[in-house]
Amino acid sequence: MFERNILTGYGKSHASFGELLQGRLPTGKDFLVTLPIDLWSICNLTAVRRTGPLVINCEYYKSKKVAEMLLDKLGILDSYEITISFSRNIPVGKGLSSSTADMLSTIRALQEIFGFLLREKTISEIFTSIEPHDGLMFKSCVVYDHRKGELIMELLYIPEFWVVAIDFGGVVDTVSYNKNLLFTDSITRQYEELLLKLENSFNLMDDKMIAECASESTYIHLSMHNNAERLKVFEECKQFNPMGVINTHSGTCLGLLFSKKIEKAEIMKIADSVNSHFQYPVFVTSTLKLLI
């Protein structure tokens, strides 16, 4: 909105808890399946009219690059000093799509100021030029090629889960992680079969089957990377009777999936028990509702 020579914009994006599945198909196509969760990046953007070249102040390189690319497309090369800041409750470097959420909330704040709309395909193209990313720009869970920025399938459903997340600590850089992935023919066939099973689970809106698919994907990934520590935790999670276990593939977390029919107070008790048992930091989040 206008306030003299100052324009202000606000943008918001949810996160994704890792991926219900992430892998590679026998065709060589990479894919992931998003899980939208109730964690958010909020971008507050101020554009001050000025004389001289365009100046963009932003401490996050990826979001600054998005702003530069969009303003170039709009032909805005001067006359503004733009300051981009964020408030967020998405842990960074944990595999929860924090940088994608920051970039998307930046786009939405710029849209509010400069009055334009972008197709999801265009947003994907911009993000792909910066890094592999999740398909947060879509309204539901999606099957998405995170390397090429291509929508494979919109699943038109979001399962109703609580997620009790175990954080093993540290951070993972998405770009570095995606440079060093190797898949055998046997593993790509497993992912092909698992993706078909997951698609059927979404068609049936069967949350239990979706959670089971997440567990299978988690096990394949941890075994492929010979991650003994997380495999041990993965097996011990069964004592808490979750519907399944989800992995942040390029991140530091495992998530125990529970039905949202369970009261929050009970979930918090389970979270305390998980924390006491494993002695790792634990946090709780949940999936978003899809309003059609």
- What is the CATH number assigned to the segment(s) 2-286? 3.30.230.120
Quickly list H helices, 159-263: 174-179, 185-204, 207-224, 228-236
User: Sheet of 150-154: strands edge to edge?
Assistant: 21-24, 30-33, 142-145, 150-154
Angle at 262 between CA 248 and CA 90, to 5 degrees: 35
Token code pair at residue 32: 């992931």
Rounded CA separation 189/197 (Å): 13
**DSSP bridge pairs for 12:** 42
**DSSP bridge pairs for 22:** 32
Backbone Cα Rg of the chain: 20
Give pLDDT tens digits for 234-251: 999 999 999 999 999 888
Give pLDDT tens digits for 160-205: 999 999 999 988 666 555 566 678 999 999 999 999 999 999 999 9
- Sorted by sequence, the CB contacts under 8 Å of residue 3 that are 6+ apart come out as none
pLDDT at 179 (0 to 100): 60
Say if residue 92's pLDDT is above 80.
Answer: yes
Can you tell me which residue has the tokens 């193209």?
A: 125
